[in-house]
């Protein structure tokens, strides 16, 4: 029997210190949980591991555990098998119940969220969803979206769809896309707002159907792929939006469309079609793209109240940044940092520094009320131009904002090179000032579309 320090309580002055001391320990344990753990050395085969626990601690943290141990249908056994979870995730659930702390990672957060819901620990579930909001980006959006649907987290689901709508092409080329449920795929292709060329969307649909056939052990020929997709998804792809070259080089070889549909499309391109096409021909709505030069989801990059040099908004303060894009874009506006309930008067000028021309566009002063960002915990406001201005590829443009208002947040850790929606932006500074430069200050985002 292992030695036990009988005066351990004197070293733990608080209740949490004492429950932390006995966490995952046999000391005073009166129940054991048998859970599978992934064993990398045995080719992902499952083996069982034991977690010792204490009924009283679990019961005061979860109504489900209370019912199991002290309810009318109490199970007197002191060994409980839980095949629906893994060792690492259950250990984090218990860690939270014993210590109020949890170690979340991208690998365990989904399972911990499942356990928090199953055992009715809403505070832990909220920590999991907060973590998912923080790590949500285009690379994992199709991994997080199913969990948002499953647990009916409408806020997280909306955030997922916003990422998908604004970065569709990157999203549908992610590894997780081919594993989504068919219902998610149908919701995607039927959306009016997407930022992807229709031929790239069709390629993604074809990859999904091929993967689904293989998952079900079916040879992925055209007939099988169409059966997996269903008519709703096939007819939702807007083939008439493709150029003839795009259509001919990609679609027929996938064998998803019938020969009649292919012939009708060729007649459509030749303007000799005499009957309506079964496919939607209206362009999808183009949603604004956002280039975030401080990153998007890391709130630690943003600090409140004043700039690093101690500047406060007062009178008219000028901030400027220079930007160059590697392809033509239509600039619709810029985003600025603000403060809670802060009103700001802003005047914007854009100058093409490559040609030396001034006043490409000037936005006369207007008042803006800053609001809390939907994803991050800082305050911003958007300044839209009266009409989009084309920023030509390779040219450098200086954006100058004259801002009048109260103390504002500022960004830190700015990036010189940012890729967004297939466009690479290069940020620079012609003349340094203490308020804004490439690494810090204003202009958290540019708002643009592709021509």
What would the DSSP string read from start to end of 351-392?
Answer: EETTTTEEEEEEEEEEEEE-EE-SSSSSEEEEEEEEEEEEE-
Residue 409 contacts residue 302 (beta carbons within 8 Å) = yes
pLDDT of residue 46: 58
Asked if pLDDT for residue 34 goes beyond 90, the answer is yes
Pairing of strands 79-81, 31-39: parallel
d(CA 50, CA 57): 17
CA distance 383 to 277: 41
- Interatomic CA distance for residues 8 and 1, integer angstroms: 17
CATH class of residue range 8-134: alpha beta
Classify the C-alpha dihedral 214-219-225-228 as positive or negative: negative
Confidence at residue 297, expressed as pLDDT on a 0 to 100 scale:
37
- pLDDT band at residue 405 under the 50/70/90 scheme: confident
334 within 8 A of 446, measured Cβ to Cβ? yes
**Strand 423-428 to strand 440-441: parallel, antiparallel, or no bridges (unpaired)?**
unpaired
| Contact status, residue 310 vs residue 434, Cβ threshold 8 Å | no
Is the predicted pLDDT of residue 202 greater than 70, yes or no?
A: yes
pLDDT value at residue 354: 77
Q: What is the mean pLDDT of residues 146-162?
A: 90
By the 8 A CB rule, do 211 and 178 touch?
A: yes
Average pLDDT, the chain: 85
Please report the pLDDT score of residue 434 as a whole number: 60
Could you tell me where in the chain the CATH 2.60.120.820 domains are found? 289-449
Is the pLDDT at 356 greater than 70? The verdict is: no
Residue found by looking up tokens 């020969």 in the block: 259
pLDDT band at 357 (very low <50, low <70, confident <90, very high): low
* Dihedral over alpha carbons 426, 431, 436, 439 (to 10 degrees): 50
pLDDT at 310: 30
More confident residue, 209 or 1: 209
- Domain limits, CATH 3.30.710.10, in the chain: 8-134
pLDDT tens, 111-125?
999 999 999 999 999
Of 368, 373, 433, 432, the C-alpha closest to 406 is: 368
Predicted local distance difference test score (pLDDT) of residue 305: 34
> With the C-alpha atoms ordered 433, 439, 445, 449, is the resulting torsion angle positive or negative?
positive
Percentage of the chain beyond pLDDT 90 is 51
Q: What is the reported pLDDT for 304? A: 35
Q: How many residues appear in the chain?
A: 451
Highest mean pLDDT: which range of 192-201, 314-323, 435-444:
192-201
pLDDT at residue number 359 = 45
| pLDDT computed for residue 44 by the predictor | 46
Q: Which residue has the higher pLDDT, 134 or 178?
A: 178
What's the pLDDT at 360? 57
pLDDT at residue number 438: 83
Query: The whole model's pTM is what?
Result: 0.64
Distance between CA atoms of 14 and 17, rounded to whole angstroms? 5
Binned at pLDDT 50, 70 and 90, residue 319 comes out as: confident
Confidence of residue 377 (pLDDT cuts 50, 70, 90): low
pLDDT of residue 189 exceeding 90: yes
Which range (34-43, 209-218, 378-387) has the least confidence?
A: 34-43
Query: To which residue do tokens 């429950």 refer?
Result: 19
pLDDT for 89 equals 94
According to the CATH classification, is domain 141-269 in 3.90.870?
no
Residue 238 pLDDT exceeds 90: yes
**What values do phi and psi take at 2, rounded to 5?**
-65, 145
pLDDT the model gives residue 6: 79
Give the strand pairing for 410-412 and 440-441: antiparallel
Residue intervals of the chain classified under CATH 1.25.40 are 141-269
384 band by pLDDT with thresholds 50, 70 and 90? confident
Confidence of residue 9 (pLDDT cuts 50, 70, 90): confident
Q: Which two tokens stand for residue 250?
A: 């990609």
| Cα–Cα distance, 334 to 447 (Å, whole number) | 6
Instruction: State the architecture of 289-449 in CATH terms.
Output: Sandwich (2.60)
Q: Are the beta carbons of 418 and 444 closer than 8 angstroms?
A: no
Compute the distance between CA of residue 287 and CA of residue 192 in angstroms, rounded to an integer: 10
Tokens at residue 105, please?
């990672």
Compute the average pLDDT of residues 321-335: 91
Question: Tens digits of per-residue pLDDT, 92-112?
Answer: 999 999 999 999 998 899 999
The helix (run of H) or strand (run of E) holding residue 161 is helix 154-166
């Amino acid at each position: 029997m292992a030695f036990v320090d009988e005066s351990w309580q004197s070293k733990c002055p608080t209740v949490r210190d004492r429950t932390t001391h006995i966490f995952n320990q046999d000391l005073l344990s009166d129940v054991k949980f048998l859970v599978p753990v992934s064993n990398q050395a045995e080719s992902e085969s499952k083996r069982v591991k034991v977690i010792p626990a204490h009924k009283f601690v679990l019961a005061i943290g979860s109504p489900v555990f209370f019912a199991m141990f002290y309810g009318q249908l109490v199970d007197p056994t002191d060994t409980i098998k839980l095949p629906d979870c893994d060792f690492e995730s259950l250990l984090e659930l218990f860690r939270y119940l014993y210590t109020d702390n949890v170690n979340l990672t991208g690998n365990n957060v989904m399972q911990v969220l499942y356990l928090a819901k199953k055992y009715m620990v809403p505070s832990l579930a909220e920590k999991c969803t907060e973590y998912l909001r923080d790590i949500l980006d285009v690379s994992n959006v199709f991994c997080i979206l199913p969990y948002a649907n499953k647990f009916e987290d409408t806020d997280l689901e909306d955030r997922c769809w916003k990422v998908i709508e604004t970065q569709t092409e990157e999203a549908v080329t992610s590894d997780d896309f081919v594993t989504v449920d068919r219902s998610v795929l149908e919701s995607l292709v039927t959306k009016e707002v997407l930022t992807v060329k229709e031929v790239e969307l069709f390629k993604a649909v074809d990859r999904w159907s091929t993967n689904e056939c293989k998952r079900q052990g079916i040879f992925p020929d055209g007939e099988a792929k169409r059966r997996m997709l269903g008519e709703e998804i096939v007819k939702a792809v807007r083939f008439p939006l493709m150029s003839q070259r795009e259509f001919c080089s990609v679609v027929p070889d996938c064998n998803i469309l019938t020969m009649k549909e292919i012939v009708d499309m060729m007649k459509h391109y030749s303007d000799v079609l005499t009957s309506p096409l079964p496919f939607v021909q209206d362009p999808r709505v183009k949603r604004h793209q956002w280039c975030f030069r401080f990153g998007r989801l890391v709130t630690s990059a943003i600090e409140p109240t004043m700039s690093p040099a101690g500047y406060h908004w007062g009178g008219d303060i000028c901030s400027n940044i220079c930007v160059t894009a590697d392809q033509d874009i239509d600039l619709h506006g810029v985003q600025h940092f603000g403060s809670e309930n802060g009103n700001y008067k802003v005047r914007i000028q854009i100058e093409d520094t490559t040609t030396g021309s001034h006043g490409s566009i000037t936005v006369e002063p207007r008042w803006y009320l800053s609001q809390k960002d939907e994803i991050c915990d800082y305050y911003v406001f958007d300044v839209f131009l009266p009409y989009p201005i084309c920023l030509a590829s390779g040219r450098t443009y200086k954006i100058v904002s004259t801002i009048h208002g109260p103390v504002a947040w500022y960004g830190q850790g700015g990036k010189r090179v940012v890729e967004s929606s297939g466009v690479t932006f290069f940020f620079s500074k012609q003349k340094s000032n203490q308020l804004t430069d490439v690494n810090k200050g204003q202009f958290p985002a540019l708002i643009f579309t592709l021509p």
